[in-house]
Structure 1
Amino acid sequence: MSLDPSVVTAFTPTGTLRASINLGNPILANKDAQTGQPFGVSVDLAREFAKRLGVDIELVVFDAAGKSVEAVTEERADIGFFAVDRLRGAGITFTAPYVLIEGFYLVRNESQVRNNADVDHEINRVAVGKGSAYDLFLTRELKHARIVRAPTSPTVVRTFMEQGLEIAAGVKQQLEADCLVTPGLRLLDECFMVIQQAMGMPRSRGETAGNYLRGFVEEMKASGFVAESLTRHGILGASVAPAA
């Protein structure tokens, strides 16, 4: 892609590319237990984008999606990695998605909730990560069940267990991992939403910069960069999004 110098300026008002990284979604980013450094497909994309711009990068790391979104919306970060949502779109310019992720419900083995249609009833309380894509989606979609917000997506099952809630909602892979360490839980048989994970930037940075970021994402999908990154980090269950 040709690079207009004004694009570099739009993405690096401080002289460094500040990339917002959300550790609340283990499909996109995790923290190395020994070094404390973040790694994952979003980190790989951020570093490659900085390389394309020819600038240094600063990873601005958060433990929850809502905090990561705020950092970009408030221009404390220049790019980020988010689930596409119309509410977030008020302050963020999104690319097309680069990864598709399934959202699932989790219940106790003895629960009478057997399928997704059983969830939206007044007797049910659903744990979600505060500010996550699941929170935004279910807040709009659930008319009767009550939403209980955990501090972050990785703490959803802990909140579900500690408060004796009926249902937990989140990333399929995170819930499956929680089932391995907490006996007596099961996932329902089908996803309730497919999340479109995209790159984003502050809307104020302009259309030219937005088009450059969109082109970057399409190239990363088409070249196999995203697929290779998912494989290298051992991510299962997420798929590369189709070309826009």
Structure 2
Amino acid sequence: MSTALPAATVGAFTPTGRLRASINLGNPILAGRGADGQPQGVSIDLARAFAQRLGVEVELVVFDTAGKSVDAVKAEQADIGFFAIDPLRGEGIRFTAPYVLIEGCYLVRDGSPLQDNAEVDQAGRTVMVGKGSAYDLYLTRELKAATILRAPSSPAVVQSFVDENAEVAAGVKQQLEADAARLGGLRLLPGRFMVIQQAMGTPASRGAEAQAALAAFVEDMKASGFVAEALQRHGIAGAAVAPAA
């Protein structure tokens, strides 16, 4: 298949001859498994579209947590990935501008005295997050008094919150809403405590031209309506397409 990108740029992304895309199944906004058990979602659609632009085949390297997905790109076991932008993750990875914005929210029990996000960071409070997630990294920096507890993955946060009797669960708004509806007796605090900027990334070693090509691809996908259409096609509500860089 022909490609408009220089051969050197294509080669920078495909040292194995294929585009290896690191996929995190721990964020339901980006990816999950379909009825056939195969990965599907916005990130998979973008990975395939970028492979098509490069003129190569795509290989999905699938993980259950964001932390493992990040580590794969840092270790160059994958050529691109889909992550929340965070300073710690920037070590060894070069990010594009975001393509999707996601709200991070808090969940509590119906009987909790907490009514506002600002009330969470108090001594003695326990906050459950997914280990290595964007929320974990952010709240580790921001919370000064509350104690952070870590679930094995983001999808396991609410169950861990229940099992360990934590006071607050933190995560993707849509995941928390779904778990609250499933389990009952739970509610989200109003508003959000952070906005997660979901971007694509590639190992820093791949060079400036490769980074520029990936950044341009993301802008094209936003401007063309590709990202918006993918969100709609996969039934994702509550996530917004990021503005142009």
Same topology, TM > 0.5? yes
Give the Å deviation of 1:100. Answer: 0.2
CA deviations over 1:58-93 (Å, ceiling 9, x no partner): 100001000000000110000000000011001100
- For residue 154 of structure 1, what is the amino acid of its counterpart? P
Supply the distance in 1 between the matched residues of 2:146 and 2:15 (Cα, whole angstroms): 44
Give the Å deviation of 1:170. Answer: 0.1
Give the Å deviation of 1:32. Answer: 1.4
- For residue 180 of structure 1, what is the amino acid of its counterpart? A
Q: Which residue of 2 aligns with 1:29?
A: 31
Q: Which residue of 2 aligns with 1:134?
A: 135
| SS of residue in 2 equivalent to 1:15 | coil
Give the Å deviation of 1:38. Answer: 0.4
CA deviations over 1:159-218 (Å, ceiling 9, x no partner): 000000000000000000001111100000010000000000001100100000000000
Q: Which residue of 2 aligns with 1:94?
A: 95
Task: Tell whether 2:54 aligns with 1:53.
Answer: yes
**What's the TM-score once normalised by structure 1's chain length?**
0.98
Q: CA RMSD in A?
A: 0.8
What is the percent sequence identity of the aligned residues?
68
| SS of residue in 1 equivalent to 2:115 | coil
Supply the distance in 2 between the matched residues of 1:2 and 1:189 (Cα, whole angstroms): 47
**What's the TM-score once normalised by structure 2's chain length?**
0.98
Q: Which residue of 2 aligns with 1:11?
A: 13
Give the Å deviation of 1:117. Answer: 1.0
Q: Which residue of 1 aligns with 2:161?
A: 160
Supply the distance in 1 between the matched residues of 2:77 and 2:127 (Cα, whole angstroms): 32
- For residue 29 of structure 2, what is the amino acid of its counterpart? I
Give the Å deviation of 1:113. Answer: 1.1
Supply the distance in 1 between the matched residues of 2:217 and 2:161 (Cα, whole angstroms): 39
| SS of residue in 2 equivalent to 1:113 | coil
| SS of residue in 2 equivalent to 1:97 | coil
Supply the distance in 1 between the matched residues of 2:33 and 2:139 (Cα, whole angstroms): 28
Supply the distance in 2 between the matched residues of 1:154 and 1:127 (Cα, whole angstroms): 12
